[in-house]
Amino acid sequence: MSLTQPVDRIPSVKNGALLRIGDATYDPALRVIYARGEEMSLEPKVGELLLRLAESNGPVSREELLDEIWGDEGSDEALTQAVSKLRRAIGDASRPYRVIKTAPRFGYELDKSVLERMRAETATGEPGVAKMQRSSHFERRREFYFGVLCGAALVIVGLAVYTILNPPMRLEQEVICAEGASPADCTTTTSTMPRGD
């Protein structure tokens, strides 16, 4: 079987739809999950696993998932890791798992009650993937600039406090020479004094 076959079997995904899984939204075209205000890229196999579980009408066996997604290169460990990454990405990382359920000694099942397919952008202008990407991008950029601004303000306040508590010093040098003495016989004293005295 082809690795893209699970994607082809979901007609709404072919038509540019997004998958909403609980509070997370998955864009199969970009292999990106939007969850908890973050944007996370999924590895290709993890994305295929999500689509395969979304299209099934019940539990999918481990063997079937390995054959369809990994082919001859798959292993139980690879599947277990992919399921774990997928659970973390959609916010289902603690037991008991509520979204991606384990079918004991069989495989995995995606809870269909939390699954919804939606268009990327509707004619009514509902938020779609482009708007989600834009807002997520600007939110991250805004947070970055806010952090830079806060850091710069802290540096300026720190320098101001340091300058007030430690005023600049003035270095004074005094050379004392006896009358008619050579410069080698003179003594030099150096002292520091706060500026302004």
pLDDT for residue 191: 75
pLDDT for residue 194: 65
Least confident among 25-29, 74-78, 112-116? 112-116
pLDDT for residue 130: 45
Q: At what angle do helices 76-90 and 44-55 cross, to 10 degrees?
A: 80
List pLDDT tens digits, range 134-181: 444 556 677 788 889 999 999 999 999 988 888 777 777 788 888 888
pLDDT for residue 195: 61
pLDDT at 122 over 50: no
Separation of alpha carbons 89 and 49, rounded Å: 13
* Helix, strand, coil percentages in the chain from 3-state DSSP, rounded to 5: 45, 25, 30
pLDDT for residue 152: 95
- pTM passes above 0.75: no
Closest alpha carbon to 35 in 114, 115, 90, 110:
90
